[in-house]
Amino acid sequence: MKQVLIIVFLFSAYLAAVAQQTDFRKRYAFAKSYIGMDFNYFVDLRNSSFIDNQDQIQPFQRNNFLTPSLNIGGTHFWGHADFFVSLATSPVKTRPDEVENSIGFRAITGMRIFPIAIKDNALRPYLSYKFAPIRLNQHTINGERFRTTQVKSLIGGGLAFQTPKLYAYAGYELIPNRDATIYLSRTQTASSSFPNKFLTVGINYLFESTAGSYAHPMPKLDSLLHRENSLGLFFGIGPSASFPVQSSDYIADLYPFLDDKSMPNTFPEITLGYHFSRYDFIVSANFRPIRQERNAFSFQQHIRRNSFGVEAYKFLFDYHGFAPFAGAGVLLENIRLTEKDQNVSITDRQYSLATPSIVFGWDIRPARRADIWLLRTNLRYLPLLTIENQDKKLSFQHLEFNFIQLVIYPQRIKKYRALR
């Protein structure tokens, strides 16, 4: 949660500064979207530890590794900012380690800030802030695996170069607070560490997503939607991740060798709602199938959540196509908890409950209120969601991050075609 608040604060401060110097007539040169690849090379890894055949703790050297990632993002605010999500693939070691291990990233979310706006055929410096869950994975010499996960801030800077179709950058990133404690068995622990520095290189293909957003017949459609709460039905779908922000005493007290902050798998968010365009207010229903697993030393925990939500939120303002919103809702949760120890079932319980949600995010709306489709990012916080087993609480106080949701307005599409 702290990482998200930091990025929102930095973004708000920068937005206020840019607002003083921007030509506001350039609303529709607002953004360029891109897809591409990152290559992150992690160096200077410290030793980790393992238990040998004599039941002694021994150190071993971890080698450098490369992590390729798929990028989805866009440059915004006339070249002053870049917001993105990088979906990391499996790490590639420079050479095998003595003990099987890996350091895995999930979705990396962040922004690059350009004090001097990036433009075609010019080299520009940038500062960056990202946050990402980082997971340490390791196997014992008997093949049993264990892991620990933390959400980390990544701070860096570099240089970027852009052409009409390509956007490339190279930078240096730091990860503060590298120390970690890992379990080598159900009872034995040792000191380990996360990476604390890496080099990043990215190359992306640019495409214009806002040009022509207010050409005919968009002004007519926009005028209609300012006067009436009409043509507001929408459907949305996009990938989400969920970040645990609270520890669970169920894990800490009963199974401390499990990965308490283990993230659920990436899951889809499916949304159906209505946009009251005159008031810029939305009521929506959503469904999110969420699966979470913890495995260590022949203990397996599986959590299946089917979450149905009804939420309402209000757009706060429209800053030249950037439209933030905030709201709240109620989620109906169906949760099944199953556990096995040495392949013997010890837990199989189901829970049904309602819990409040807080939702905030933003739309990228080049055509004010007349977009027939748009991209939406939303974050959802569950401040009270827990279940109880063996008189201990298992927390689902998560921050969900719906990276990029494609939102389609079918009634507007029909009206747009009729006005052409």
Structural tokens at position 240: 């989400």
Global pTM reads: 0.83
CA distance 21 to 77: 11
Give yes or no for a cis peptide into 217 (omega within 30° of 0): yes
Residue by residue, what is the 3-state secondary structure of the chain? Answer: CHHHHHHHHHHHHHHHHHHCCCCHHHHHHCCEEEEEEEEEEECCCCCEEEECCCCCEEEECCCCEEEEEEEEEEEECCCCEEEEEEEECCCEECCCCCCCEEEEECEEEEEEECCCCCCECEEEEEEEEEEEEEEEEEECCCCCEEEEEEEEEEEEEEEEEECCCEEEEEEEEECCCCEEEEECCCCCEEEEECCCEEEEEEEEEEEECCCCCCCCCHHHHHHHHHHCCCCCEEEEEEEEEEEECCCCHHHHHHCCCCCCCCCCCCEEEEEEEEEECCCCEEEEEEEEEEEEEEEECCEEEEEEEEEEEEEEEEECCCECCEEEEEEEEEEEEEEEEEEEECCEEEEEEEEEEEEEEEEEEEEECCCCCCCCEEEEEEEEECCCCEEEECCEEEECCEEEEEEEEEEECHHHHHHHHHHC
CA distance 98 to 141: 10
Local structure of 389: helix, strand or coil: strand
Domain spanning 2-208, CATH class: mainly beta
Residues spanned by CATH 2.40.160.20 within the chain? 2-208, 218-419
Tens of each residue's pLDDT in the chain, 420 residues: 555 555 554 554 444 444 444 443 455 555 678 899 999 999 888 888 888 888 888 888 899 999 999 998 888 777 888 888 888 888 998 888 888 888 888 788 889 999 998 889 999 999 999 988 899 988 888 888 888 988 888 999 999 999 989 999 999 999 988 888 888 889 888 888 888 899 999 999 988 766 556 677 888 888 889 898 999 999 999 988 888 888 999 999 999 999 998 888 889 999 999 999 999 999 999 999 999 999 999 999 999 999 999 999 999 988 777 789 999 999 999 999 999 999 999 999 999 999 999 999 988 887 778 889 988 989 999 999 999 999 999 999 999 988 789 999 999 999 988 988
Q: What is the pLDDT of residue 18?
A: 45
**Residue 368 DSSP symbol:** T
CB atoms within 10 A of CB 280: 22
Distances (CA, A) of 56 to 97, 177, 350, 379: 19, 28, 41, 45
Structure-token match 């390791």, residue found: 138
Structure-token match 């006005």, residue found: 419
Domain spanning 218-419, CATH class: mainly beta
Judge contact between 205 and 352, C-beta under 8 A.
Answer: no
Q: What is the pLDDT of residue 213?
A: 64
CB atoms within 10 A of CB 26: 10
CA distance 250 to 272: 35
Short-list 408, 112, 11, CA closest to 236: 408
